[in-house]
Structure 1
Amino acid sequence: MTWLVYFHVLAVVVWIGGVAFVTAIVFPVLGRMEDSMAKVSFFMGFEKRFQFLAKILVIIAGATGILLFFERGGFGSLTNTEALLMGYKFFVWVLYFALLFGAEKRLMATLVSSNTPVEKAFKRLTLFHWVVLILSLLAVISGIRLVRG
């Protein structure tokens, strides 16, 4: 089912591309803003819009990924290396799914308390985004490795 591959790759490209955009473009722009309230307002509005899209893309990537996995033969078709790569991709997907569908509020409370200065909060969020982006890019590399050998 070739269409599954197209949907899967497009969902991942837009999803991880969005994460890269937020991490490499939005956060540096926010870092240059002087007004703390404007910074928070811009971030909240931007994140809310992207989060809606990310939820849809994560569901599409997960659903198509599972279907492609079973189309390929499921667990019986995996070598040890493939199992590790597939497991890593699944780990990253579960991480995003958990963040987008519930854990983000708890994480935000951990990273940013009500008395955390805005600058410090954005530095923590920026660092978190870089970590998540690197994990995501490694998952993309894992996917390429699985397909291309």
Structure 2
Amino acid sequence: MDDFTLARVLHILAIVPWIGGVAFVTTVLMPAIRRNNAPGERLAAFHRFEAGFAWQARLWVGLAGLSGLWMIYRADLWYRFSDLRFWWMHAMVAVWAIFAAMLYVAEPLFLHRRMAQSRTPERDFARMERMHRILLLASLIATGGAMAGAHGLI
């Protein structure tokens, strides 16, 4: 197996648990927390669950970014970023950059502390739930576009 094929395999193996985890949190965990916890307790309930998932998300997002960058470098795919027919390349990088910024910068540096001291946990949970829905939709569009684009469908 050549290094490009290995990078592609690692990329897909990172994307599946990453976006699958986002889908689970967005469509199963957050609605369950909303149904089973009082509005003021939802944020704390989410953080109890999220603590066990954050390291996994960081691992998968990191692996997806490294393998994606290696494929771009190895196959010299930089030109695709100047051609809008490859919009899905831009979408993948944008989704990755948003998640990387949240997981590696915002959460550890200030977001967890801000949420722990929140005076409006019910609003923060609702905002977080909305953001998860938007990010899941963007992730699915990027993933679908990438699969279709990689196989010549678009």
Q: Could you say whether these structures have the same fold, taking a TM-score greater than 0.5 normalized by the shorter chain as the test? A: yes
Q: Deviations over 1:48-71 (max 9, x none)?
A: 111110001111000000111122
Task: Find the aligned partners of 2:143 and 2:70 in 1 and give their Cα distance.
Answer: 18
CA shift, 1:74, in A, is 2.4
Task: Find the aligned partners of 1:111 and 1:128 in 2 and give their Cα distance.
Answer: 15
Q: Percent identity?
A: 30
Task: Find the aligned partners of 1:41 and 1:119 in 2 and give their Cα distance.
Answer: 10
Structure 1 position 126 matched with structure 2 position 125: no
CA shift, 1:37, in A, is 7.2
Task: Find the aligned partners of 1:71 and 1:26 in 2 and give their Cα distance.
Answer: 38
Q: How does 1:137-148 map to 2 (within 5 A)?
A: 137-148=140-151
* Stretches of structure 1 lacking an aligned partner (at least 5 in a row): none
Structure 1 position 101 matched with structure 2 position 104: yes
Runs of 4+ in 1 over 3 A off after TM superposition: 34-42, 76-79, 104-113
SS, match of residue 127 in structure 1 = helix
In structure 1, what is the equivalent of residue 46 of structure 2? 43
Q: Give yes or no for contact 2:80–2:86 (8 Å, CA) kept in 1.
A: no
- Please, which of 107, 115, 123 is the counterpart of residue 119 of structure 2? 115
Q: Which amino acid aligns with 1:93?
A: W
Q: How does 1:1-149 map to 2 (within 5 A)?
A: 1-35=4-38, 39-76=42-79, 80-104=83-107, 106=110, 114-116=118-120, 118-149=121-152
* Stretches of structure 2 lacking an aligned partner (at least 5 in a row): none
Q: Which amino acid aligns with 2:61?
A: V
Q: Give yes or no for contact 1:112–1:121 (8 Å, CA) kept in 2.
A: no
* Structure 2 CA distance for partners of 1:106 and 1:131, relative to 1, 3 Å: farther
Q: Which amino acid aligns with 1:16?
A: I
Task: Find the aligned partners of 1:65 and 1:73 in 2 and give their Cα distance.
Answer: 12
Q: How many residues align?
A: 148
Q: Which amino acid aligns with 1:47?
A: E
